[in-house]
Amino acid sequence: MGTIITGTGSYIPELIKSNAHFMSNDFYADNNDPLTDDNEVIIRKFKDITGIEERRYLSKELSSSDAAAIAGRKAIDAANIDPESIDQIIVAHNFGNLAHDSNQSDMLPSVGSKVKHLLGIDNPDCVAYDVIFGCPGWVQGMIQADIFIKAGVAQKCLVIGSETLSRIIDPHDRDSMIYSDGAGACVVEKRDKTGKGILSHASQTFTTDESNYIYFGESNKLESNGNAKFLKMHGRKIYEFALNKVPAAMKSALDQSGIPIEKIKKILIHQANEKMDEAIIKRFYRLFKTNVPKGIMPMSINKLGNSSVATVPTLLDLILNENLEDHKIEEGDAVILASVGAGMNINAIVYQF
């Protein structure tokens, strides 16, 4: 028995914000002092490190649950299933619905319930709920769906990752340029196939010293936003953590799968920093004493930024629909899906198409 992806979908917002959008921002350091470099230098250094040239923001009339429902509907249509036959709707996010002009989170009812309502699903046996797991939330939702399917609890699950990070960022923090909005989804179903679908997975949570690497904090510019809190991170600590921990988790998942490293065709990894991802992949292949194959890691960060839980499913949808240049996934290909984020959480899936 296997857990098979039968349909994917994504919602990439139409509103494009290039790096030039931030030229007029007043950037401050973590210690609340103004940055001394002018914005042209700050933005150029940012681009060199992260690889981000532009990102997408959700239009003000839409919410995270709206984007999730759009991506979910596309996945349902691609899978060609009756929505009423879905057993579980698993929605990964971190901040719920955020209004365009407010960063107050709305998670009542849950985003999963909102999405089920928007999809018009009546079946009460279709259980909708949320996963709060940092940026790895969608991958964790896939892991949960796989466990439920293989336990015989569910046969069809809709797994969605949706986020609007643009509504929770501090305009006086240069890290604000990393974040973007979007949604990605897939339908997974039970199939009587062996050697196909989700073969293995690994998850970890580190909280000894790492739990506050990504946190809610005040603006870098004192007294600029009253008591409002914003998405904050200790970038250097996250970089070092990811390089030290993510490759081992990916190796654990791959070792469990029985797939040799040479058979992996693509690695779809959460994208928050291009150089960090490149370093993670190098360290991963170093564990197997082999070189990184050309084209192994598709990238979307340069145009889409970091959309948190939406990054990996959006990337998967783009590739499967041949909408990412020079990248393709074909029948028989083995891939790794991996992510790291707030918690600090890490996970990875090995999937055979």
User: What is the DSSP secondary-structure string of 42-76?
Assistant: HHHHHHHHH--SEEEE--TT--HHHHHHHHHHHHH
Query: What is the β-pairing status of strands 88-92 and 156-164?
Result: parallel
Per-residue model confidence (pLDDT) at position 100: 78
Measured CA to CA, the distance from residue 189 to residue 156 in angstroms comes to: 4
CATH superfamily of 2-195: Thiolase/Chalcone synthase (3.40.47.10)
Per-residue model confidence (pLDDT) at position 312: 97
Per-residue model confidence (pLDDT) at position 286: 95
Output the six-digit token pair for 75: 């996945």
Per-residue model confidence (pLDDT) at position 225: 65
**Max CA-CA distance within the chain?**
61
Per-residue model confidence (pLDDT) at position 32: 87
Sign of the four-CA dihedral 46, 48, 53, 58: negative
C-beta separation of 180 from 132 below 8 A: no
pLDDT in tens, the chain (353 residues): 789 999 999 999 999 999 999 998 988 898 888 888 899 999 999 999 899 999 999 999 999 999 999 999 999 999 999 999 999 999 999 999 988 777 778 888 999 999 999 999 999 999 999 999 999 999 999 999 999 999 999 999 999 999 999 999 999 999 999 999 999 999 999 988 778 999 999 999 999 999 999 998 888 888 766 678 889 999 899 999 999 999 999 999 999 999 999 999 999 999 988 999 999 999 999 999 999 999 999 999 999 999 999 999 999 999 999 999 889 999 999 999 999 999 899 999 999 99
Per-residue model confidence (pLDDT) at position 37: 87
Domain with residues 198-352, CATH architecture = 3-Layer(aba) Sandwich (3.40)
Query: What is the β-pairing status of strands 127-131 and 214-217?
Result: unpaired
**Exposed, middle or buried, 344 (CB in 10 Å: 0-12/13-18/19+)?**
buried
Q: Do domains 2-195 and 198-352 have the same CATH topology?
A: yes
| Residue 264 host element (H or E) | strand 264-269
Sign of the four-CA dihedral 212, 214, 215, 218: positive
Per-residue model confidence (pLDDT) at position 175: 92
Measured CA to CA, the distance from residue 288 to residue 223 in angstroms comes to: 51
pTM across the whole model: 0.94
Enumerate the domain spans of the chain: 2-195, 198-352
